[in-house]
């Protein structure tokens, strides 16, 4: 039954590949080397929705993914592998093919901790390599820049080039004047130096075949962190050294008490011990006693014999300086 679904799905989408076919593009275009060098790192995804008993619970889906770390991690658009299900327990069975017509394939598993509602990271099971695509800096992109993508729209190998028309999508996505089709979602977006700067999300308006949007790689830092960084691109805008705030300064107050106890102690001793403890717990911060915070409370624990117990309270202020880092950026924040 699964093979029948797969065949029908491939036939139903095959016609869309004509829309974005790279066969008519000139061999000396700027993206030609990217296409030739990196095709082996682009994967066709086949997603079957399966219940625990092995039965099909929804129509299959197709998409594209790309190798983004030497440890066998691939990246795709989340909507390819994580649709809202009507039936409980309907889960994706995701297979990755390194070539549309190849019998070689890999099972995959989703890594939830490094995925979000836009982009998903998957692990190829039983696959290791020493090559992968590299992450560029999508913050350097600007309107009218050309980008290039390649993938498997309709399950057929294809590619296309487009021009960025809007960097201010309300969802943080970039709009491109470029046609795409079903199955292109999850394809890598390349800049002119061959670095991955985004992930294709499909058409913002299904009725408009001439527009595509993609999520910039800077919007998914957890996923970008698994990739190797691309070398600096000579065609990028000049960068300047910027002092960028990484972590804002904080001021907190820690207040603790000893709990009721016998004598032989003092508020000053408790404050001194608390200061040492808090300082040890926060080695990168400055710990100081809060003025006039030492308090001593007493009670008679065994009336009428006057068994005195004491509870000491003290407060320590913890100050962490702001953290800055030097980064090379087109404009400083």
**Quick one: what percent of the chain has pLDDT higher than 90?**
45
Other Cβ atoms within 10 Å of 194 Cβ, number: 20
pLDDT at 260: 92
pLDDT digits (tens, 9 = 90+) for 14-60: 333 333 344 434 445 788 889 988 998 999 999 998 888 889 888 88
pTM, two decimal places: 0.62
In tens, the pLDDT along 57-90 reads 888 889 999 999 888 899 999 999 986 555 778 8
Residues of the chain with pLDDT under 70: 1-28, 83-86, 100-102, 233-239, 328-330
What per-residue confidence (pLDDT) applies to 277? Answer: 93
What is the structure's pLDDT at 227? 87
* pLDDT of 11: 41
pLDDT at 71: 85
Q: Is 1.10.10.1110 the CATH number for 2-229?
A: no
Q: Which residues contact 272 (CB under 8 A, 6 or more apart)?
A: none
Domain boundaries, the chain: 2-229, 247-323
What is the pLDDT, as a whole number, of residue 70?
A: 83
């Amino acid at each position: 039954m699964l093979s029948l679904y797969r065949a029908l799905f491939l036939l139903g989408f095959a016609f869309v590949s004509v829309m974005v076919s790279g066969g008519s593009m000139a061999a000396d275009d700027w993206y030609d080397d990217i296409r030739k060098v990196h095709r082996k790192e682009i994967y066709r995804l086949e997603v079957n929705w399966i219940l625990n008993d092995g039965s099909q619970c929804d129509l299959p889906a197709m998409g594209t993914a790309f190798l983004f770390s030497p440890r066998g991690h691939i990246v795709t658009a989340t909507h390819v592998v994580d649709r809202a299900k009507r039936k409980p327990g309907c889960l994706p069975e995701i297979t990755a093919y390194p070539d549309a017509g190849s019998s070689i394939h890999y099972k995959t598993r989703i890594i939830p901790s490094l995925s979000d509602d836009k982009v998903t990271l998957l692990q190829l099971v039983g696959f290791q390599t020493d090559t992968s695509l590299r992450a560029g800096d999508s913050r350097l992109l600007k309107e009218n820049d050309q980008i290039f993508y390649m993938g498997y729209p309709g399950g057929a190998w294809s590619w296309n080039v487009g021009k960025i028309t809007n960097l201010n999508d309300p969802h943080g996505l970039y709009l491109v004047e470029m046609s795409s089709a079903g199955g292109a979602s999850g394809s890598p977006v390349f800049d002119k130096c061959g670095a991955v700067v985004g992930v294709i999300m499909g058409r913002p308006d299904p009725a408009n075949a001439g527009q595509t949007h993609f999520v910039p790689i800077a919007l998914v830092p957890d996923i970008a962190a698994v990739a190797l960084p691309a070398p600096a691109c000579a065609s990028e805008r000049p960068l300047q050294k910027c002092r960028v705030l990484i972590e804002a300064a904080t001021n907190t107050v820690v207040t603790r008490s000893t709990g009721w106890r016998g004598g032989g102690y003092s508020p000053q001793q408790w404050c001194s011990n608390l200061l040492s403890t808090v300082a040890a717990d926060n080695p990168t911060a400055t710990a100081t006693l809060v003025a006039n915070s030492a308090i001593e409370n007493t009670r008679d624990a065994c009336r009428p014999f006057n068994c005195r117990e004491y509870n000491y309270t003290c407060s320590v202020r913890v100050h962490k300086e702001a953290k800055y880092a030097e980064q090379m950026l087109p404009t400083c924040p």
